[in-house]
Amino acid sequence: MGEPGEAGIVHRLDNDTSGCLAVAKTQEAYEILRKIWNTEAITKEYHAMVIGKPENTGDITTPIAHHATNKKKMRVCESQSLAIKEKAREAFTHYERLAVFKKKDLLFSRVKINILTGVRHQIRVHMASIGHPLAGDKLYQNMDKRKMDSPEALRPLLHLYKLTIMMPGEKEIKVTAPYPEDFGFF
* Active site (catalytic) residues: 14
Q: Find the largest Cα–Cα distance for the chain.
A: 53
What are the distances in angstroms from CA 166 to CA 96, 107, 111? Answer: 23, 37, 24
Give the DSSP H or E segment for 50: strand 42-51
CA distance 75 to 4: 32
Rounded to 10 degrees, what is the CA torsion of 55, 60, 65, 71? 30
